[in-house]
Structure 1
Amino acid sequence: MSGHRVQSGPPSLSPRELEVLAHIGAGLTHHQIARRLGISVHTVDTYTRRIRAKRTAPTLADLVRLSVTQDGV
């Protein structure tokens, strides 16, 4: 199939999703992340939902583990 790119593995995280994930891994709350990044808490929640949709991370512990073990990639 020429012209079609087959993606292997889970979808990659955007730079902003990686940034939010790093802050979660550092132990910051959504409010603290929002303040640091100059975005709303709702937007932090949105990024967190997107990360969870792209990776198997249903709990906060899973998100922290993801940030430490894989750097989100």
Structure 2
Amino acid sequence: MNAEAPALTGREQQVLHLLSSGDTISAIARQLRLSPHTVDTYLRRLRTKTGAVNRTQLAVYAVRHGLAGRSAGQGIRP
């Protein structure tokens, strides 16, 4: 994964937060009122930006950058 934190959009941060909280793609889609395909697109973009190769690495990235957990992102839910 990239050592330097890339700039993430607000929506990317929301998706990453929910993913790191253990939510599935379907659950993220419901909460953000998006299609599962759109969530998958966000996850693909996040993997590209962060250098992660899978969702587990994205979750680790979220923890390391303070974007993980239910309490960390309470204010970023729509």
Tell me if TM exceeds 0.5: yes
Question: For residue 59 of structure 2, what is the aligned residue in structure 1?
Answer: 64
The aligned residue for residue 74 of structure 2 is: none
**Runs of 4+ in structure 1 over 4 Å off:** none
What is the alpha-carbon distance in structure 1 between the residues aligned to residue 62 and residue 34 of structure 2?
20
Counterpart check, 1:36 vs 2:31 = yes
In 1, Cα distance between equivalents of 2:66 and 2:11:
13
**TM-score relative to the length of structure 2:** 0.75
Q: CA deviation at 1:33?
A: 0.2
SS at match of 1:54: helix
Structure 2 unmatched runs, 5+: 68-78
Whole-Å separation in 1 of the counterparts to 2:40 and 2:51: 16
Pick from 4, 8, 12 the counterpart of residue 13 of structure 1.
Answer: 8
Structure 1 gap segments, 5+ residues each = 1-8
**May I ask how many residue pairs the two structures share in their alignment?**
64
Identity in percent: 41
Structure with the greater alpha carbon radius of gyration: 1
SS of 1:20's partner is helix
What letter is aligned with 1:62?
A: Q
